[in-house]
Amino acid sequence: MVAIVASYSVFPSKETPKGHLWLSDNDHVWRSGHTPTIYVYKAKHSDDTIQRLRNSLPEILVHYYPLAGRLTLRETGRMEVDCNAKGVTLLQAETTKSLADYGDFSPSDSVRELVPKIDYTQPIEEIPLLLVQSTRFHDGEGFVIGVAFCHPLADGLAGTRFINSWAKLARGETLEPHELPYLDRTILKLQHSSTSPCFDHPELKPLPLKLGSSDINAEQSKKTSGVLLKLTPEQVQKLKKEANEEALEEGVRAYSRFEAIAGHVWRCACKARELDEKQPTVVRFNGDVRSRLVPPLPRNYFGNALAETVSPECYVGEIVSKPLSYGAQKIREATKKLRNEYIRSQMEIVLGEEQLDGIRGFFSGQGERNSFPFAGNPNLHITSWMSMPMYEADFGWGKPVFFGLAYVCAHDRAVILLGPHGDGSIIVSMHFQEAHLELFKKFFYQSL
């Protein structure tokens, strides 16, 4: 059990710009609420721990001042940030559990307690955009920093860079000019045209249903659980080697570790579900587009810069029976689509009246609604966080020994992360229907 010992409202240490910050279409189409993540440290927790966080947080909020504001809703259904410097929340907490009691910190209800809980039935305009909780383990063998970060403000990469910059200030260092956030989102202001998009955009259309089913409600209601599946550097290389066993055409680059791991996860999911071999299936991805746009976004763009893509539809029987290179190739075809013209075309059409209605519902207490089609059984949602430098979050007591999601996704999803040791190991944070999870784990390691 986790008990809150103290709660602090933290404000920028200097006067910051006031007014309303325009949010891009891209900021509107992902989850409306907060994304909960945890950083686990093995250092001894002391009074200095919370004091160091309290002293450095006001400093970083000067640079990231929109985070100290509040979301507000316009009549059009679009959100803005009221940069009113109302502050963020910092909680000091203790748990009756030891570090060992949490095991490997797989996403679960007990791990979720390590991140601030948010009541979305209260007025959204009053909810802080950032809430942080420092929780000390009962045995004194370490602590967790749990972060609830409002997704309309920033995606995972931007959020990670914020945490790392905060940690740098906490260590007594100063930020270099290239580390300061680029806050102006009008760089993503699009000229909406009345003509039809140049691309088909299958990622915005309903995904395949289970054979014999006419709607997704039955699958959406099934319970999912989270598990962390670890791959050693040798196992990662084994998957890469397997994916590249088939001779590639001259000039075609070898399949990457992401393509190999994602293909392996897809194949294991198809096997574990024991679906008909003629069952259509796809994989959905979302990717960072900062460097894919022309011209590219500033490296430290603080906001959402994501695009959605989906693999070509194929049959379960093909994914299960063909070499790993088959699934890896389908994944490559999906990610190759994310080029400047395709991304801009998607950004122009993704925010429609249905999404704006969902945002209005969120502000009136009806909960979150996702803009993209449900990606559970017989399909899969895969996200790569391998480029996110989450293990640089050293506040002065050493780097985290673990970083991960603190909640279980409601649909089948794999989040692929680097291991904490910098040795090439990988962690797959797998969220899967409980009925098929044990079989999935069996197939995941069977050939490794």
Catalytic residues: 151, 394
Evaluate whether 370 touches 29 at the Cβ level (below 8 Å). no
- Chain-centre distance for alpha carbon 247: 34
- Pairing between β-strand 413-418 and β-strand 380-384 as defined by DSSP bridges: parallel
Beta-carbon contacts of 333 under 8 Å, excluding residues fewer than 6 positions away, are 311, 312
Give dist(CA 390, CA 33) in Å, integer. 21
Angle at 219 between CA 268 and CA 278, to 5 degrees: 55
Give dist(CA 160, CA 180) in Å, integer. 13
Angle at 366 between CA 361 and CA 372, to 5 degrees: 65
- Could you give the strand order of the β-sheet that contains 20-22, starting from the edge strand earlier in sequence? 20-22, 79-82, 70-73
- Whether the bond between 197 and the residue before it is cis, its omega within 30 degrees of 0, is no
Q: Is the dihedral of CA 195, 201, 206, 208 positive or negative?
A: positive
Evaluate whether 435 touches 263 at the Cβ level (below 8 Å). no
Q: Which of 278, 236, 229 is nearest to 106 (CA)?
A: 229
Give dist(CA 60, CA 388) in Å, integer. 20
